[in-house]
Chains A and B, each alone.
Chain A
Amino acid sequence: MNIAVCVKQIPDPATPYDLDDDNHWVVRPNDQVLDDTDRVGVEVGLQLAEATEGTVTLVSMSPSGSLQGIRQALAMGADKAVIIDDDTLKGSDALTTARILSAAIDREEFDVVVAGGESTDGYTGVVPQMMSEMLDVPCLSFARKVDVDDGIVTIERQTASGYEVVTSKLPALLAVTAGIVEPRYPTFKGIMQAKSKPVETLTASDLGVEPDVGQRVTEVADVASREAGDIVEDDGEAYLKIVELLEQTKVI
């Protein structure tokens, strides 16, 4: 099976990111890491590939920089990567991102496309759905369990009150939830092999996509934060303070 996994390199979430003053875009450092939600997507892709003797191709739109995040995913076991690195794509919205990623995926026959639910740094949460439409495949989103058998994919799809079982033919796009699998850690061998795995770099025009953004940020302002309350160290009787506050709020 040919499996494409969409991944994103993002600024390290442990360090707060900046927005540039002119365009309000996220300032992207040269060293970016693999988005945590994408490690889950890579793991799902690898498990499907292992079960079917398939290949996993990473597809990513971002300034490639040091490729640190992409190498992390290759070290987990992905076979190769396609990066779309193009200055004209700076400040792209979800629709442009989806156009680029689906054009890159559509260059080859694919059986399954795997995407994370939403990126940690942008969280529009609709790119997989847009890609599904562009690729004319079912969007099996919010998947918390996946089975592929004989050209049929079956998922458990999270709903507000439980889950549904959803099934379709391949090809299909899977947008997975964070808890679906435990991503593996790269082995030393994996890390060494990742250095020589093929990474292809493309531009928007290579894919015939004209970047076109239909929205513009006009203002970014600070939001007033909540007033700080009382912080007490538990001396064995802090629960009494909680009881007191619950009484004040009349919930007891």
Chain B
Amino acid sequence: MAVWVFAEELEGLPTEGSLELLAKGRSLGEVAAFYVGAGSDDAFAALGEHGATTVYHLDPGDALPSAGVAAAFAEILRAEGGKVVLFGPGNIDRDVAGRLAARLGKPVLAGALDIDVSDGVTVRSEILGGAKSVSTVVTDGSPALIVTRPKAFEAASVGGGTPTVVSVVMPDVGRSSATITERHVEASEGPDLEAASVVVSGGRGLGSAEGFEMMNELAGLLGGAVGGTRAVVDAGWVPYSYQIGQTGKTVKPQVYIACAISGAMQHAVGMKGASTIIAINKDPDAPIFALADLGVVGDVHKVIPQLIEALKAR
């Protein structure tokens, strides 16, 4: 098998990120998916429809996936071979990729925005908040383990048929094992942040958790979702699921409204793909203005309430 895609389950089906990886994988060669989750005919059919010809399925149950999944995946890669293994940017992806790399003695190339396999394996990534593009070649033979950036590729249905499904047993990993005892969803109101066409995002300059009330109101009026910077998540004003940036989510909405956000590179990497960026900040030198299509130098506590009233009046 030339190309492996690490795929995960969410609410009974492969995640959107998994389908994005399959689309890229298919452009590189024949694809096998290593699928972690409960598994079902519907899930396997979705993987097939998006380009997987074979699915290796492992259900970790209540075990923390990382160690056992990496051990099982390493055995299969040793037996079947492979040129590249693609991972998404999620927590389980990183856990498995890191442990797998250590098992196989192979490097991990992270932050991939594009992958070329025409002459060896070359990965393109960006550093310094997207200011520089870096090409890296793998010099250590196959398989190349690659962790991609969120939304680097677009999912595409290719109408593939039902894949061959191979069942994989979760191995006993002894003292490396850990157990998930509870799962909690911290629901946010309105549309999904990563899929929303409008994102209203707040930074530390909002002053307090209460500042997010007007973010919610504005997002509600625009049918959008609310996000935030790492600073406001660290301050406990909003949960981590709101975080946009290097260690959070990547969004590519039609319109991104940055409120009291300075625009540090760690935040910029998560939102600079938006079609239109509107920024409001007191500091005329804030780096966010270099990204903005419209920048308002002013106080969010004045501008946003005025904007809310104007939208309500329509």
Contact = CB atoms under 8 A, between A and B. Distances in A.
B95 A216 contact: no
Interface in B277-312: 277-278, 284, 289-299, 302-303, 306-307, 310-311
Contact of A162 (B180, B184, B222): B184
B139 A215 contact: yes
Interface string B61-92: 00010110010000000000000000000110
Interface string A58-71: 00000000000000
Given A215-B136, A231-B297, A139 B182 contact: no
A138 B67 contact: yes
Interface string A208-236: 00000111111111110110111111101
Contacts of B96: 129
Nearest to B194: A160
A164 interface: yes
Contacts of B266: 120
Given A134-B102, A138-B64, A222-B132, A234 B94 contact: no
A250 to B, nearest CB: 8
Interface in A125-176: 125-134, 136-142, 144, 154, 157-169, 171-172
Interface in A101-129: 117-118, 120, 123-129
Contacts of B241: 160-162
A178 B202 CA distance: 18
A245 to B, nearest CB: 5
B176 A138 contact: yes
Contact of A177 (B176, B184, B240, B297): B240
B294 A242 contact: yes
- A: contact size bracket: 35 or more
Contacts of A117: 247
Contacts of B107: 93-95, 213-215
A238 interface: yes
B251 interface: no
B126 A223 contact: yes
B272 to A, nearest CB: 7
Interface in A52-100: 93-95, 98
Nearest to B272: A226
Interface of A: 16, 19, 24, 93-95, 98, 117-118, 120, 123-134, 136-142, 144, 154, 157-169, 171-172, 177-179, 213-223, 225-226, 228-234, 236, 238-243, 245-246, 249, 251-252
Interface of B: 64, 66-67, 70, 90-91, 94-99, 101-103, 105-111, 122, 126, 128, 130-141, 147, 174-187, 197-198, 222-224, 230, 233-236, 239-241, 246-247, 249, 254-255, 257, 266, 272, 275-278, 284, 289-299, 302-303, 306-307, 310-311, 314
Closest 10 CB pairs of A and B: A129-B98, A234-B298, A214-B140, A126-B98, A133-B102, A168-B178, A229-B293, A138-B178, A165-B182, A179-B234
9 contacts: A123-B110, A126-B110, A127-B98, A137-B176, A163-B186, A220-B133, A241-B296, A251-B222, A251-B255
